[in-house]
Amino acid sequence: MPITLDDVETALAQKPETLSGSYTDRDSLLYAVAIGMGRDPLDRKELEYVCETVGQRVVPTAATVLTRTSRPAGAGRNPLAGKMNFALMLHGEQRLTIHQPLPRAAEILASGGITGVYDKGKGKGALVTNETNVTLKDGSPLYTVGSTMFYRGDGGFGGQSEGAPVPHTLPDRKADAVCEMPGRKDQAMVYALCGDRNPLHRDPEFAKKAGFDVPILHGLCSYGIACHAVLKTMLDYDETRMTGFDVRFSSPVFPGETQVVEMWQDGNVVSFRVRIKERDVVSINNGKCTIK
């Protein structure tokens, strides 16, 4: 059953719940490995992210997989769930604001929900924006994550079309730095263990139903790989300098492809985009990393 304006109004009117959760060092270590850190087991800077006896650093974009909470029985349910076509859903944008460096393990409180639903028109799909605020158990702000999901089969329900987040504009000059990030054929299999079990990324038959010849890499895995490149190239692996990391996903990535990250620095902003070396297509655009 397609969504209606009543469904959208109900979703936007829901009050955020505050839910408790936690994550362990296994989660933050696994994430670092899943986005390609530690491939050189003698690289001490990366070992600080993947080996607890060397360091306690956590990749900031791990926030996307560490926000796990327990929902009490009878708690509110997303009124759009089950009504939008999940098989035709793509991750459009991801946003992150970091309030303090992520600890290797923590107990957390999270609250948030749907912040907007935008109708691109019949046959053009719909956008759904979400935001979640996360604090440590003592209430101190940790990070805020936001996303835009593109439901290709759900446009034309009569909703508003304007007001969605505006993408960051990249500088009009040659990149200040470029970093190549080789992929692995099994990368989606490893990243799925971080918590995203969407079969689009591992099941060939499911991928075909969604219009892809083979499974595609998780957008959030590419997001983490871009963060890895910025940390490595522009911040000398010092994650404490990063305060925000926003992207727009523009083209699917296939496991094993090389992601070439082009970067520009202007003051406290590192702009970036990601180009797929093997196909010369931009997979992540309008990237914005804010730094101290």
SS (H, E, C) 19-61: EEEEECHHHHHHHHHHCCCCCCCCCHHHHHHHCCCCCCCCCHH
Is 201 a known active-site residue?
Answer: yes
Domain segments of the chain as ranges: 5-291
What local confidence, expressed as pLDDT, does residue 74 receive?
45
76 residue type, one letter: G
Task: Give the pLDDT score at 140.
Answer: 98
Which residue spans within 71-136 are E strands per DSSP?
A: 89-98, 106-119, 126-136
Q: What is the pTM of this model?
A: 0.91
What is the reported pLDDT for 72? 56
91 is catalytic: no
Q: Which CATH superfamily is domain 5-291 in?
A: Hotdog Thioesterase (3.10.129.10)
Strand ranges (DSSP E) for 120-169?
126-136, 141-151
Angle (CA) 246-252-255 rounded to 5° is: 105
pLDDT of 124 reads 86
Question: In a structure prediction context, what are the per-residue pLDDT tens digits for the chain, which is 292 residues long?
Answer: 578 888 888 888 888 889 999 999 999 999 999 999 999 999 999 999 999 999 999 999 999 999 877 665 444 566 787 778 777 787 899 999 999 999 999 999 999 999 999 988 888 888 999 999 999 999 999 999 999 989 888 887 888 888 888 999 999 999 999 999 999 999 999 999 999 999 999 999 999 988 899 999 999 999 999 999 999 999 999 999 999 999 999 999 999 999 999 999 999 999 999 999 999 999 999 999 999 9
Query: Given the DSSP bridges, would you call strands 17-23 and 106-119 parallel, antiparallel or unpaired?
Result: antiparallel
Catalytic residue among 7, 91, 119, 201, which?
A: 201
Question: What is d(CA 88, CA 114) in angstroms, rounded to the nearest whole number?
Answer: 19
3-class DSSP state for residue 184?
coil
CA-closest candidate to residue 110, choices 22, 214, 14: 22
Among residues 7, 119, 154, 196, the one annotated as catalytic is: 196
Asked whether the beta carbons of 33 and 50 are under 8 A apart, the reply is: yes
Q: Could you tell me if 248 and 285 are in contact, meaning their C-beta atoms sit under 8 angstroms apart?
A: yes
